[in-house]
């Protein structure tokens, strides 16, 4: 794959209105170009592996369920030392999607018009805007949520290089000045 193609987001559309009754198995093993694109999206030095084993099935009357596992290996720069930090990601994917016309696509509201969310319950289904589900969009979202935003090499610590100013050398805070003015009144 050329460098120009690596800049393009990969796609894997699945027609959800013609799924087999037992579901559609989907395997993803990213190519070198796709891994380069993922590394760029994640701000990583490299993505060495990116694989997913998924099943797309009908869910309830008109919905779709995407379930499976995403596994990835990547290298990021340590935020302290800039040394390479290797990470492994293993994410369980279990997402549901419904068309925008479904009753489940509309949020439940209380009498004041606020959303009712159950913190202990399942997430509400995502809304499908068409009759296709792009598997890569879901994988990218799950991957980016799982990537460590501030990777650190083992044992790396941040050390203050300059001295902190003494209290006598620093300017008094505006609040301290106001406090003194108030006390003198």
Provide the strand spans (E) within the chain.
Answer: 13-15, 24-29, 46-59, 63-77, 84-99, 126-128, 132-134
Whole-angstrom Cα distance, residue 178 to residue 144? 47
Q: Inform me whether the pLDDT recorded for 20 exceeds 80.
A: yes
Q: What is the DSSP letter of 147?
A: S
pTM (predicted TM-score)? 0.73
Sole residue written with tokens 């008109």:
62
Give 59-109 pLDDT, tens digit per residue.
888 889 999 999 999 999 998 888 899 999 999 999 999 887 766 656 666
DSSP 9-52: PP--EEEGGG--TT-EEEEEE--HHHHHHHHHHHT-SEEEEEEE
49 φ/ψ sector (left φ>0, alpha ψ -120 to 50, else beta) = beta
């Amino acid at each position: 794959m050329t460098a120009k193609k690596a800049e393009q987001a990969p796609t894997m559309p699945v027609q959800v209105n013609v799924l087999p009754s037992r579901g559609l198995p989907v395997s993803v093993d990213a190519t070198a170009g796709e891994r380069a694109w993922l590394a760029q999206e994640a701000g990583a030095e490299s993505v060495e592996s990116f694989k997913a084993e998924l099943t797309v099935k009908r869910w309830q009357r008109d919905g779709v369920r995407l379930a499976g596992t995403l596994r990835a290996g990547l290298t990021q720069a340590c935020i302290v030392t800039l040394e390479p930090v290797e990470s492994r990601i293993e994410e369980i994917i279990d997402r549901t999607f419904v068309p925008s016309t479904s009753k489940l696509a509309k949020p439940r509201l209380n009498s004041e018009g606020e959303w009712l969310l159950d913190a202990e319950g399942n997430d509400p289904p995502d809304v499908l805007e068409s009759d296709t589900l792009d598997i890569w969009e879901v994988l990218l979202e799950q991957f980016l949520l799982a990537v460590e935003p501030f990777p650190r090499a083992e044992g790396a610590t941040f050390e203050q290089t300059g001295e902190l100013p003494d209290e006598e050398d620093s300017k008094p805070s505006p609040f301290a000045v106001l406090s003194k003015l108030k006390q003198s009144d």
